[in-house]
Structure 1
């Protein structure tokens, strides 16, 4: 096969047009065109090397039939990447290939990613330095990072790099959302073990907000509603996101009186009784309830998501226009409700014990 044929085929495999290859290699688009059409059969050694480097192959493979072997190798590599939920990246950061499964998980079409800067596009800002270091250094040590989906939401992953050539890496990404949730839920439970009064739940909710923020979850506030039907009380706790200063709020109100006044609270209790998650737009009734319970007229989330647990509901206020992967967020909140439920149960028992002791004195 000719140099021109090999060059064109390799370029097209990487979804590059002639100008893209020119920008990457420093060889003019006109020269690339003449090579591909056969007008230039033996370009200068410098141009040949630059083109080969830009395509991630050797200069020799461009010149003869070894290019065919290189393509066979690349096809096999792509099959491996597909099986391992991985992508292939050049040490300069450009994506060569991404498995369809991983592209779907991240919410991208393959053509949106190929030949783009994979580090800048796929990794959260706080994870880019280590991702760059691991790709450029050729290290195969596993590390944890946050990847970014097309809608802006985050995906916690464990990354392992495999060197497949001097300049290319096979990057295997494993979703560790559940692992992150379990670790975070344990830390929330630890914080709850130090609590001895219901008002201490405000601190626990703030720590829960810290954990969600570390996972890359974008939210306006975390809400905890503890429903005590026996005492006719509703205990409300809220921790705002880091952007709002993690400011914690808490309030205890008469349950039946509040149910009579706010439709959004009636809906919340209804979903709690049916043990169902509740997703809805924040409306004026919710904003009025927020104003009266927390004296806060500035909190205006776009979407509300609440997940039930034994003693109440754990919820998130999501930003207007932000990512809305509510199915995933429901799962994440569900992991945390186990810890919250244990903490609330412990505090209820302590409170009941104190009341019994007080009644005997």
Structure 2
């Protein structure tokens, strides 16, 4: 028999140290390395990116160690760029390479998504976040993207202060740093902030097949509520299943800071959602996107009744300013649902 819990009853208390300890690659990338990356011989930029990252890793390890007077000893010269920026389409291995860089560097370091860093600032305050990360040798930012002016200003300030403190930066995105924010808000009004971000990085282009043209994988047919109950009790023997009414779960998320979502799902082997419905409020949808990312990070299979996951966000959301986030969430939720309901490994 499975052990049944409810996420809607969880309210994790997380210390600053515990929050920072969560800034490491997800289990999907917990053991990757430059050696395990397989460059496509038809795409020489991939092998060139590996070489560039190895060189960058060596330069990080040759820095003065953190500690007394480290702020002054680690200051870079005005001509030195603090970071490296991997630009390329979906599916070319950027996260694999970024995690490989993190694994190869010694000393204090952080790895998280863009959203996780903005959530960290929200949880700690800007100044405490800068103070906490300034002692690190390396800060890796995956899926770097700017969706609104507030994030533009916030992240440009954070990157500038970390750079000034001698922290080395590494980021991935499918948008060149000088083009961040284009198409979603009046980027020209924030060009100075965007340029500050661009000036921190040397750009490394990674070419390869962009998987976006394949579209979203087909969402599995939702289970009936009776089928869902049977699967909960007979498909996860000896495991911990978080079973919730979907509306209760998404309502509960508003009371759990997104920076705590890693701890929110600790110890959960699978989730079961009764009566999934379309989310109509943007703030609720964006919190749910973060939960989807954390579930995908930990490869937690999903079984569900209600609407399929390609209908969990409104058409307006799927075509609006945050569409990239929503498409990623639908893709990941669908992969986890196919794993939970069809036994297919989530890629």
TM-score (norm 2): 0.25
Q: Which has the higher helix share?
A: 1
**Greater RCO (CA < 8 Å, at least 6 residues apart):** 2
Q: Which has the larger radius of gyration?
A: 1
TM-score (norm 1): 0.24
Q: Which has the higher strand share?
A: 1
